[in-house]
Amino acid sequence: MPRIAAIAASVVVVAGLAGLAGYTMFGGNDDRFADCRTSTVAGGAGAIGGPFTLVNQDGETVTDADVITGPSLLYFGYTFCPDICPFDNVRNAEAVDILKEMGHEVTPIFISIDPDRDTPEVMKNYVNYMHEDMIGLTGTPEQVKAASQAYRTFYQKQPSEDEFYLVDHSTFTYLVFPEHGFVEFFRRDLTGQQLAEQVACFVEHA
């Protein structure tokens, strides 16, 4: 498939995340993260996130409690994504390094929405290239669907006659804490520095 067609197909998903329309505020006056928030979400922060069971890059079955052991940046995508996913994962990795320089340990997590191609071995090669601390998660189609639904993400495989298909998907990054769950989502137009500064606010208020 020509490169320009791949790019055009991927860009379709930049603007959308199913379920994040019809905005309401995250929380009330007792929201500890009120000074950090730049986004709103329908139903409040509690409407996004939840338990999941997936398979990590070492082939081990893990739950959300196993991988979200501290502040974490979650991103849903796939390793065969031609441009958007690599860019976003690199940006997230850059933010994690900046946060470390600021004294904050934040883990980047990459969840595949293409389990047919993204085996644990593929995920391991990918995340090792992206960042030494990045956790790669895949699983059965049912496990991946459940995790995606918990975070209200969208993905859809495009029709193809071969294995070189594309997957349309939403492109937000989620900040999650083990004790607070989901607290914020970030759009892909932020730089690594901007993302790090926004995440730092939440970490310092946690």
CATH of the domain at 199: 3.40.30.10
The per-residue pLDDT for range 113-127, each reduced to its tens digit, is 999 999 999 999 999
- Mean pLDDT score, 40-47: 68
pTM score of the predicted model? 0.85
Number of domains the chain contains: 1
Q: Which is higher by pLDDT, 146 or 5?
A: 146
Q: Extract the tokens encoding 173.
A: 């990054």
Q: Output the pLDDT for position 168.
A: 95
Distance CA 112, CA 136 (A): 8
Size (the chain), residues: 206
Residue with tokens 């950090």: 36
Residue type, 131: H
Range of the domain at 34: 3-205
**pLDDT band for position 28 (cuts 50, 70, 90):** low
Q: What confidence category does residue 190 fall into, taking pLDDT thresholds of 50, 70 and 90?
A: very high
